[in-house]
Structure 1
Amino acid sequence: MTQVFDQYSTTDEVLAGVSLAGQRVLVTGVSAGLGVETARVLAAHGAQVVGTARDLAKAQGATHAVRDQARDGGSLELVELDLASLVSVRKCADALVADGRQFDVIIANAGVMATPMGHTADGFETQFGTNHLGHFVFVNRMASLLKAGGRLVNLSSSGHRYSDVDLIDPGFDQTEYDPFVAYGRSKTANILFAVEFDRRHKSRGVRATAVHPGGIQTELGRHLGADGLDNTLASINADLAAEGKPAFEWKTVAQGAATSVWAAFVAPGEDIGARYCENGHVSHVSDGMIGPISEGVRSYALDPENAKALWAKSEDMVGEQF
């Protein structure tokens, strides 16, 4: 009987009895939070993990548990990657390609949230440039390293419901900047990237999916500030109270990373390919009214034509064809 997981399931529970010995996995953003926990549980089950970080010194200090708990040939190798700089992205991807060792899974975990208006080194709006375009170039440059039957897992968010992508004005040049709208655009882009990547690579058994980790207190929320976070929680709890539901509870980091490893190693590929997953299962499409922490994915985020259009726009923006 297939094990059923939910919002309370942890990474260790999801991978209970699963050996990843001999598997090689790339995880972006292993200097804190979900990235560190993802790397830890993978190495503890025997995987050879390559973790990327913008600040290698910070990542080295944050990943002691990864190395300490590695078993059955599990290991961690750190490489430098700044997703907000295409020079860094291309340098890192090209070095991995030159190395030639293949990957069973790529987990695109790194990201930023609700940042003030700003730009990447290449002039892209910070959130779209970092969360989407950085990963778009990085993953596509090294797509040849994904083994047949491998997987790409993109970390998205329920925040994708803030906004569809805007292919006319992706940089807010013509519209007023809103940090959550910008975040929503980037998280929708993460899903659409998985949809189109899956279409392009499934003929060789490579499947791509997007996952929502849930609400976790990590460095991702550092731009909200204490007041912003308190106000957001108060609004969520007011909505829940009106629905007669209990107050919101944060997930632990181990619970937050569980869906990533479930989608990468446990779920059947045909179930999760070109889909959006949360709480240890594939989510449903919901375009109506939906609570801030309720499950559901907007149809625009899974639309194949929207995904193709974003891919073409992304290629145009980065000046590279894949």
Structure 2
Amino acid sequence: MATTAAPTASKAFGATSTTDEVLKGVNLAGKRVLVTGVSAGLGVETARALAAHGAEVVGAARDLAKAKAATVEVRAGAANGGGLELVELDLASLASVRACADALLADASPFDLVIANAGVMACPFGKTADGFETQFGANHLGHFVLVNRIAALMKPGSRLVNLSSAGHRYSDVDLDDPNFDRTPFDPWIAYGRSKTANVLFAVEFDRRHKTSGVAATAVHPGGIQTELSRHLTREAMQALVDRINAANRAAGEPDMSFKTIPQGAATSVWAGAVATADEVGGRYCEDCHVAEIVPDPASRRGVKPYALDPERAKALWAKSEEMAGERF
């Protein structure tokens, strides 16, 4: 959804760029955007930045009361015809996902950009309303069904941005045992599987819709202290940072530094509204640029080859259809 008023995609943005810096000079008036997870953190900031530049934002959230309170500044800061409306969406329930999609289809207003932002991280073992492991079910399958059901609303030139994570390096998807029925459960392995799935979904969605002028990409926002880490104690968070820094040093990379929320949301809006479709389509982006493929499992930088494997992406799509009981 790069706009004619946008800066060229080659302009240098990086890890410390903010949403306002990335969108400087960009006019999104008349553009309609769906953002999931607008009750906290990155979702709220993404919606704020887009509405401030004229976009009509549809914000999806499980708890509408919480989302309404969290987005007061989004509505107050909307400009150039921008605004925000809220819709109910519980990604851990396919009944809720389908109801949300049905309501959007009934409204029949097309989208220029869909940002699949919502997610959970490193939560204890649990299952969604449909019996799927929580992280795979909410982070991937919920978005898989929602986006595919509303794909008809994505007009030529529109774009899908899936929020993945450097956590995808913890694990490839496991198509034989996605719900840990036979595999010992590990919250980080489960998170890694779901974040790899976010990338693979973008790869296959991009391939399927490229001829109709619709592109898809996946992004890593960076390390940000948001509600996403609510399942981690202070000690567990520090242990995670220590492990990451030890791995970074072993790979000759700098220690991890946390981003601010506006810095964390910058890659989402860059990939969705500034970069060209040819640049980001079917790719994985970080720090406001397309990431390089880094096979080294010790490296936190870049994207692992399995996350961009087109055959793996096709296989995940088929497995996701089977699990959801719906073909797209």
Equivalent of 2:118 in 110, 119, 144: 110
Once the two structures are superposed, residues 61-119 of structure 1 have per-residue CA deviations (whole angstroms, 9 ceiling, x without a partner) of 00011011100001000000000000000000011001100000000000000010000
Secondary structure of the structure 1 residue equivalent to 2:271 = helix
Equivalent of 2:45 in 37, 50, 63: 37
Equivalent of 2:311 in 294, 297, 305: 305
1:264–1:298 distance in 2 versus 1, CA, 3 Å: same
- TM-fit CA distance, 1:240: 4.5
Q: Distance in 2 between matches of 1:208 and 1:246?
A: 30
Asked whether 1:21 is paired with 2:55, we answer no
Secondary structure of the structure 2 residue equivalent to 1:202 = helix
Secondary structure of the structure 2 residue equivalent to 1:209 = strand
Q: Distance in 1 between matches of 2:114 and 2:135?
A: 20
Equivalent of 1:174 in 182, 203, 211: 182
> When the two structures are superposed, what TM-score results if normalisation uses the length of structure 2?
0.95
Q: How many residues align?
A: 320
Specify the alignment match of 1:236 in structure 2. Answer: 244
Once the two structures are superposed, residues 280-308 of structure 1 have per-residue CA deviations (whole angstroms, 9 ceiling, x without a partner) of 0000111124334xx21111111111000
Q: Distance in 1 between matches of 2:254 and 2:108?
A: 51
1:20–1:117 distance in 2 versus 1, CA, 3 Å: same
Q: Distance in 1 between matches of 2:41 and 2:85?
A: 17
Specify the alignment match of 2:5 in structure 1. Answer: none
Specify the alignment match of 1:320 in structure 2. Answer: 326
Q: How does 1:1-322 map to 2 (within 5 A)?
A: 2-240=10-248, 247-292=255-300, 295-322=301-328
Amino acid at match of 1:311: W
Once the two structures are superposed, residues 29-75 of structure 1 have per-residue CA deviations (whole angstroms, 9 ceiling, x without a partner) of 00000000000000000000000000000000000110111000010
Q: Distance in 2 between matches of 1:234 and 1:313?
A: 36
Once the two structures are superposed, residues 104-159 of structure 1 have per-residue CA deviations (whole angstroms, 9 ceiling, x without a partner) of 00000000000100000000000000000000000000000001110000000000
Secondary structure of the structure 2 residue equivalent to 1:172 = coil
1:26–1:122 distance in 2 versus 1, CA, 3 Å: same
Secondary structure of the structure 2 residue equivalent to 1:129 = helix
Secondary structure of the structure 1 residue equivalent to 2:157 = strand
List 4+ stretches of structure 1 deviating above 6 A: none
Secondary structure of the structure 2 residue equivalent to 1:152 = strand
Identity, % of aligned pairs? 68
Q: Distance in 2 between matches of 1:239 and 1:207?
A: 34
> When the two structures are superposed, what TM-score results if normalisation uses the length of structure 1?
0.97
Once the two structures are superposed, residues 186-232 of structure 1 have per-residue CA deviations (whole angstroms, 9 ceiling, x without a partner) of 00000000000001101011000000000000000111111100111
Q: In the alignment, is the contact (CA less than 8 A) between 2:122 and 2:188 conserved in 1?
A: yes
Q: In the alignment, is the contact (CA less than 8 A) between 2:251 and 2:298 conserved in 1?
A: no
Q: In the alignment, is the contact (CA less than 8 A) between 2:200 and 2:313 conserved in 1?
A: yes
Which runs of 5 or more structure 2 residues have no equivalent in the other structure?
1-7
Q: Distance in 1 between matches of 2:315 and 2:39?
A: 33
Amino acid at match of 1:297: V
- TM-fit CA distance, 1:247: 4.0
Q: Distance in 2 between matches of 1:310 and 1:238?
A: 32
1:239–1:290 distance in 2 versus 1, CA, 3 Å: closer
Amino acid at match of 2:55: A
Which runs of 5 or more structure 1 residues have no equivalent in the other structure?
none
Amino acid at match of 2:135: Q
Secondary structure of the structure 1 residue equivalent to 2:135 = helix
* Root mean square deviation of aligned Cα: 1.2
1:67–1:285 distance in 2 versus 1, CA, 3 Å: same
